[in-house]
Amino acid sequence: MRLLRNHGLADRDTVAEFGYVSRLDAVQAVVLRYRLGRLDELIERRRNNAQLYRDFLGGAPIELPDEKPYEYHTFVNFVSQCDRRDELQKHLAEKGVQTVVHYNTPIHLQPAAQSLGVRRGQFPVTEHLCTRILALPANQSLSRSDIEFISAEIRDSLGRSS
């Protein structure tokens, strides 16, 4: 039951079986009600943070999430792509910047998908992307100077001056 209630995750990176997410109690409901009242403001701050990253990292060897004119992205996650992802993540951690790799192992290679008979190499694009993606901090509590600092450290790590 513990696996089923949390996406089937045995640990942060291993999906043991396909599951659900069912974790809302009364306290969480109160917090959610409060946050929903501020949702537009929070989304706008995240969107502004995303634009700051784009402004500060223009021309750097890192791919940032884009937004098409017909899209309205809320940037719950701000997932970049970088050929030197592990090196960048280590550098940022040394500077006190927390990043996350959300999908280190592709879903088709998780234990929960073994019965599907899919093997490594059958989804090469997915497997390649799992070596490049890195979620950068972009939440609404970050300031312009926070993002400027993080961006400078990204440029430093990737060998590009600002």
Secondary structure (H, E, C), the chain: CHHHHECCEEECCEECCCCCECCCCHHHHHHHHHHHHCHHHHHHHHHHHHHHHHHHCCCCCCECCCCCCCCCCCCCCEEEECCCHHHHHHHHHHCCCCCECCCCCCHHHCHHHHHHCCCCCCCHHHHHHCCCEEEECCCCCCCHHHHHHHHHHHHHHCCCCC
Reported confidence tier of residue 78, pLDDT bands at 50, 70, 90: very high
Q: Let me know if residue 82 belongs to a domain.
A: yes
Average pLDDT, the chain: 92
Q: Are residues 29 and 77 in the same domain?
A: no
Residues 20 and 53 in one domain: no
Does residue 90 fall inside a structural domain? yes
* 123 falls within a domain: yes
pLDDT at 8: 84
What domain range is 129 assigned to? 45-157
In a domain, 162, yes or no: no
Q: Confidence band (pLDDT; 50, 70, 90) for 100?
A: very high
Is the pTM value of this prediction over 0.75?
Answer: yes
- The answer to the question of residue 95 being in a domain is yes
Share of the chain above pLDDT 90, in %: 77
Q: At 162, is the pLDDT very low, low, confident or very high (cuts 50, 70, 90)?
A: very low
Confirm whether 124 is domain-assigned. Answer: yes
Residues 106 and 131 in one domain: yes
